[in-house]
Chain A
Amino acid sequence: MAAITRKAFLGASASLLLANCAPKAEEPWPRGRPLQFVVPFSAGSGFDSYVRALVAPLQAELGQGARVVPENVPGAGGSRGGGVVYRAKPDGYTIGMFNLPGATVSAVRGDRLPYELNRITWLANLGTDRYAVVVRAQSPLRSIEDVFALQRPLKLAQLGPNSSDYVCAQVAFGSFDRPYRIVTGYQGSSETTIAVLRGEVDASVRPISSVLSYVESGDVRLLLTLEDKPSVAGVPCSTDIGYPQLAALGLERMIGGPPDMADEIVARLSDVIVRAAHSEVYLAWARAARTEVNAIGADEAREKERELAAFYLGYRDMLALRG
């Protein structure tokens, strides 16, 4: 008797749960359900702060009391979170950030990913963080020429081999055609910065925004920025010294959804994300976080993803080498 009651109870609760999860067809998007925004890294990470700062302006843009709930799905260098978005229903209630170009390179290398990158519905790109070669203040390397003149392999501290960080270091120093060795295994970008400060490595290739405050405090120096035009006073850029192709390197903040999303939802989402990213609240956050927000919509983001894939495909041999 007890077992039957329990079974009945479980059945009833399960159907209640299902009823709750089912979309209410009569209500127009985005009402009735909160929008799940997947962050592929843990709370407190760079990607996480991008999303959490966007939540309030995004809710304001969506209007009608819409709710946006950030959800951290960390793991496997950001690809677990990507998998969650990929497998979700394309109903506009699940979107997420993608770790590009890390994922692009994994695809180029033929690594197994829990999603097909070229089937993701791209919605927007919040901005591109450019990279720079960083050394600690006391380093004997005073300029990029000193680096090139070094008689031994240069030691670089980078995140794991599947990270965007590692990939950019490979392409940059592979293009310079100078011997280098990557010391990796650091857990998070701040550990990489500390490794430079401790002096256990010669340098690191890091997003400019993540090290600017250390430049100002006099703890580190930039030797070269990987971009078209110099953005930091007194620091040459890669195009200036004859490597224009390196300006394509950058850490993207791409937002995507599951494959086969309806066009009108894509257009709406792309529009609200770009407007939210241009809101005063978000720009103020970006200034405080020292990051550049330069949001682009769905069409340009799609184009960006194609360009990245073509670019890194050209470096396939260089990227196959690890360490």
Chain B
Amino acid sequence: MDFSTLASAFATTFTLHGLFFLCVGVAIGLLFGVMPGLGGPTALALLIPVTYSLEPFDAMLLAGGVMGAVSFGGSITAILLNTPGTAPNAATCFDGYPMAQQGRAGAALGASAAASALGGALGLITLLAVLPLAKVIVLSFGPAEFLMLALVGLAAVAMAARGKLLRGLVAAAFGLLLSFIGFDSVTGEVRFSGGLDYLWDGIELVPALVGIFALAQMFELGVKGVSVAKDDPDTPLDRVMSGVYACFKYWKTLLRGSVVGTLIGAVPGLGGTVASFLAYTATVQTSKDPDSFGRGNIEGVIAPEAANNARDGGSLIPTLAFGIPGGAETAVFLSILVLHGMTPGPAMLINNEHEIYGLIVAITISAILASVVGLALARWLRLVTKIDVRILVPIVAVVSLTGVYVLRNDFGDVIVCLLMGVVGYLMMRFDYSRLTLVTALVLGDILERSFHQTQMIYDGDMSAMFGRLPVQLLSLVLLVIVGLPFWRWFRQTQKARREVSSDAAS
């Protein structure tokens, strides 16, 4: 790594000219993040023609600004309205929204802003640190590892359904069933499409997520007829800062989220949604008080938001090592590079070092900038939770459905969104976990595909995959996840027994 190039990229960024492009990028990123359905890839694709006339470095600042800011923008609506602005923010809803309901929206926004900024910075530090090992990391994750990772994720949510195991299984099975609709990506056959062309590609993730969270929430609010924050405490501003402090207090959660985010980001084929969900479930799993999650535990906001921003750094690892995008956003970003005459590929880091470090700087600064803007606005943003439902519900419903439609210009997406809204609402009413459903929906496709691929690669002998070190490590994680609750239960019974016997002795 060349520190002088990094320093020069910083110097170029911190000019009036550089900051202008960065700020424009941040503003666009926040806006596209806040709009449910739209996200980073859409924003970047729309920016492509704008970057034609720009210098490559300015284009990097603009793109980096968007990439760094989108995820914090998406967390704002996730927290305030239970409406994830982008798909990865869905995990933030689980604890962010209960916090808003309890009148702690300021703290949740503060935590999200700080976690986004710190997660983004940690992700990029990790990126710079592991750049020499980039190729090894990318190449050590194949279909066998994907399969184990999907199993780890599913096991984690299954175990998170303590006490409601049957309901958890029903939700997970429903999610898996939904994920199997459409093309079997291995045989090319279309399954469960009911003769509808729309279902060839299966259930689209974004409309499903917007339905399950945003619309379901609007149905709930509409039926109850109250504003989001039930009571009306005049929340003081220091609550926002308390969220920021929480990030430092729960530094382990922050670090865990960032590591999970960077790692998942580094693996092409897994997206930010997988990153934030795994970070969330990992936090629930390792917490001493897992039952407090889903009820407004601030750690449930910190973990997915840190992961979501750290992923940006991670997804640059395969981009810089092989010129291969780590996710949809990086894919669009690569096409911007090509338009500016740069050739994505292993030589990029040598030929276009200045632009690449510019991008790294831009993503870091924009994550921080977006968070500062967010913190400054948090005081007013949280007022959203006090808006009358008769105004709020129609606005959010229209904006969500428009966002869903605009994404692919397909009315089928709107119908899926509405149907999933009904499903989500019923799940809320009858106390089924939406986290479980969504995780199964996200991981089902990866699970099925990597299972098929692993079988083909090892000629049907699945045991051969356990010869790989990453598979062995992930198997260990899987064992811990499944075993931990039993271990806890065992310890508790032992403790209870000791107490009983010591009571008896005294």
Which residues of A approach B to under 8 Å, CB–CB?
A: 42-45, 48-49, 52-53, 55-56, 71-77, 80, 83-84, 114, 155, 160-162, 181, 183-188, 190-191, 193-195, 197-198, 200-201, 213-214, 216-217, 219, 284-285, 288-290, 322-323
Q: In the bound complex, do residue A185 and residue B338 qualify as a contact, i.e. CB atoms below 8 Å apart?
A: no
Q: In the bound complex, do residue B343 and residue A213 qualify as a contact, i.e. CB atoms below 8 Å apart?
A: yes
Give the docked Cα–Cα distance between A253 and B52 (Å): 23
Which of B44, B45, B200, B323 contacts A213 (CB under 8 A)? B323
From residue B144, how far is it (CB to closest CB) to chain A in Å? 8
Q: In the bound complex, do residue B197 and residue A76 qualify as a contact, i.e. CB atoms below 8 Å apart?
A: yes
From residue B414, how far is it (CB to closest CB) to chain A in Å? 15
A48 contacts across to B, CB distance below 8 A: 335
From residue A196, how far is it (CB to closest CB) to chain B in Å? 11
B331 contacts across to A, CB distance below 8 A: 42-45, 188
**Interface digits, B334-346 against A, CB 8 Å rule (1 contact, 0 not)?**
1100110111111
B342 contacts across to A, CB distance below 8 A: 288
Q: In the bound complex, do residue A214 and residue B408 qualify as a contact, i.e. CB atoms below 8 Å apart?
A: no
Q: In the bound complex, do residue A161 and residue B188 qualify as a contact, i.e. CB atoms below 8 Å apart?
A: yes
Give the docked Cα–Cα distance between A195 and B318 (Å): 13
Q: In the bound complex, do residue A43 and residue B343 qualify as a contact, i.e. CB atoms below 8 Å apart?
A: no
Give the residue name and chain of the B residue nearest to A290 (CB): B343
Give the residue name and chain of the B residue nearest to A166 (CB): B188
| CB<8 Å pairs between A and B, sample of 26 | A43-B42, A43-B328, A43-B332, A44-B325, A44-B331, A44-B333, A45-B331, A49-B338, A49-B339, A56-B52, A73-B410, A76-B200, A80-B200, A162-B188, A183-B453, A184-B453, A193-B324, A194-B318, A195-B142, A197-B139, A198-B142, A217-B345, A217-B346, A285-B341, A288-B341, A288-B343
A52 contacts across to B, CB distance below 8 A: 48-49, 335, 339
Q: In the bound complex, do residue A193 and residue B328 qualify as a contact, i.e. CB atoms below 8 Å apart?
A: no
Which one, B104-112, B179-187, B209-217, B373-381, is touching chain A? Answer: B179-187
B354 contacts across to A, CB distance below 8 A: none
B449 within 8 A of A: yes
Give the docked Cα–Cα distance between A64 and B410 (Å): 31
Give the docked Cα–Cα distance between A214 and B450 (Å): 25
B143 within 8 A of A: yes
Q: In the bound complex, do residue B185 and residue A44 qualify as a contact, i.e. CB atoms below 8 Å apart?
A: no
Among B44, B49, B138, B328, max chain A CB count under 10 A is at B49
From residue A26, how far is it (CB to closest CB) to chain B in Å? 28
B268 contacts across to A, CB distance below 8 A: 190-191, 194
Which of A72, A75, A186, A323 contacts B45 (CB under 8 A)? A72
From residue A165, how far is it (CB to closest CB) to chain B in Å? 12
Q: In the bound complex, do residue B324 and residue A190 qualify as a contact, i.e. CB atoms below 8 Å apart?
A: yes
Give the docked Cα–Cα distance between A56 and B51 (Å): 12
With A44-B325, A183-B453, A288-B342 given, is the CB distance from A217 to B201 under 8 Å? no
B492 within 8 A of A: no
**Interface digits, B399-410 against A, CB 8 Å rule (1 contact, 0 not)?**
000000000111
From residue B364, how far is it (CB to closest CB) to chain A in Å? 22
With A44-B334, A80-B201 given, is the CB distance from A183 to B343 under 8 Å? no
Given contacts A184-B185, A185-B450, 4 further A-B contacts (CB under 8 A): A44-B333, A73-B409, A162-B188, A200-B457
Q: In the bound complex, do residue A194 and residue B338 qualify as a contact, i.e. CB atoms below 8 Å apart?
A: no
Give the docked Cα–Cα distance between A285 and B200 (Å): 34
Q: In the bound complex, do residue A160 and residue B200 qualify as a contact, i.e. CB atoms below 8 Å apart?
A: no
Give the docked Cα–Cα distance between A162 and B408 (Å): 21
The 7 closest A-B pairs by CB, nearest first: A44-B331, A161-B188, A213-B345, A217-B346, A43-B45, A190-B324, A44-B332
Q: In the bound complex, do residue A197 and residue B322 qualify as a contact, i.e. CB atoms below 8 Å apart?
A: yes
From residue A29, how far is it (CB to closest CB) to chain B in Å? 22
Give the residue name and chain of the A residue nearest to B326 (CB): A190
Q: In the bound complex, do residue B197 and residue A285 qualify as a contact, i.e. CB atoms below 8 Å apart?
A: no
A76 contacts across to B, CB distance below 8 A: 183, 197, 200-201
With A161-B187, A219-B322 given, is the CB distance from A288 to B143 under 8 Å? no
Q: What is the size, in residues, of chain B's interface with A at 8 Å between Cβ atoms? A: 51
B456 within 8 A of A: yes
A214 contacts across to B, CB distance below 8 A: 322, 345-346
Q: In the bound complex, do residue B457 and residue A288 qualify as a contact, i.e. CB atoms below 8 Å apart?
A: no
A114 contacts across to B, CB distance below 8 A: 197
**Interface digits, B480-502 against A, CB 8 Å rule (1 contact, 0 not)?**
00000000000000000000000
B347 within 8 A of A: yes
Which of B41, B185, B344, B345 contacts A187 (CB under 8 A)? B185
Which of B197, B323, B325, B456 contacts A183 (CB under 8 A)? B456
Give the residue name and chain of the A residue nearest to B331 (CB): A44
With A43-B44, A49-B338 given, is the CB distance from A191 to B332 under 8 Å? no
Among B323, B335, B341, B343, max chain A CB count under 10 A is at B335
From residue A95, how far is it (CB to closest CB) to chain B in Å? 16
Q: In the bound complex, do residue A284 and residue B341 qualify as a contact, i.e. CB atoms below 8 Å apart?
A: yes
Give the docked Cα–Cα distance between A76 and B197 (Å): 9
B409 contacts across to A, CB distance below 8 A: 71, 73, 84
With A191-B268, A214-B346 given, is the CB distance from A285 to B339 under 8 Å? yes
A200 contacts across to B, CB distance below 8 A: 142-143, 457
Q: In the bound complex, do residue B347 and residue A216 qualify as a contact, i.e. CB atoms below 8 Å apart?
A: yes
With A76-B200, A185-B186 given, is the CB distance from A219 to B346 under 8 Å? yes
Give the docked Cα–Cα distance between A72 and B335 (Å): 14
Give the docked Cα–Cα distance between A183 and B459 (Å): 10
B191 contacts across to A, CB distance below 8 A: none
Q: In the bound complex, do residue A160 and residue B322 qualify as a contact, i.e. CB atoms below 8 Å apart?
A: no
Among B45, B201, B346, max chain A CB count under 10 A is at B45
Give the docked Cα–Cα distance between A185 and B42 (Å): 25
Q: In the bound complex, do residue A217 and residue B325 qualify as a contact, i.e. CB atoms below 8 Å apart?
A: no
Q: In the bound complex, do residue B324 and residue A49 qualify as a contact, i.e. CB atoms below 8 Å apart?
A: no
With A73-B408, A194-B322 given, is the CB distance from A184 to B139 under 8 Å? no
**Interface digits, B460-489 against A, CB 8 Å rule (1 contact, 0 not)?**
000000000000000000000000000000
Interface residues of B in 404-458 (CB under 8 A from A): 408-410, 449-450, 452-453, 456-457
Q: In the bound complex, do residue B41 and residue A44 qualify as a contact, i.e. CB atoms below 8 Å apart?
A: yes
B290 within 8 A of A: no
Q: In the bound complex, do residue B139 and residue A198 qualify as a contact, i.e. CB atoms below 8 Å apart?
A: yes
B318 contacts across to A, CB distance below 8 A: 194
With A44-B325, A185-B453, A193-B324 given, is the CB distance from A160 to B343 under 8 Å? no
B269 within 8 A of A: yes
Give the docked Cα–Cα distance between A80 and B344 (Å): 28
A285 contacts across to B, CB distance below 8 A: 338-339, 341
B335 contacts across to A, CB distance below 8 A: 43-44, 48-49, 52
From residue B45, how far is it (CB to closest CB) to chain A in Å? 4
Q: In the bound complex, do residue A322 and residue B187 qualify as a contact, i.e. CB atoms below 8 Å apart?
A: yes
Give the docked Cα–Cα distance between A55 and B449 (Å): 36
A190 contacts across to B, CB distance below 8 A: 268, 322, 324-325
Give the docked Cα–Cα distance between A52 and B44 (Å): 12
Give the residue name and chain of the A residue nearest to B348 (CB): A213
Give the docked Cα–Cα distance between A56 and B334 (Å): 18
Give the docked Cα–Cα distance between A289 and B339 (Å): 9
B200 contacts across to A, CB distance below 8 A: 75-76, 80
Give the docked Cα–Cα distance between A188 and B41 (Å): 16
With A44-B41, A44-B328, A194-B268 given, is the CB distance from A185 to B343 under 8 Å? no
A187 contacts across to B, CB distance below 8 A: 185, 269
With A43-B332, A219-B346 given, is the CB distance from A160 to B143 under 8 Å? no
Which of A72, A162, A194 contacts B139 (CB under 8 A)? A194
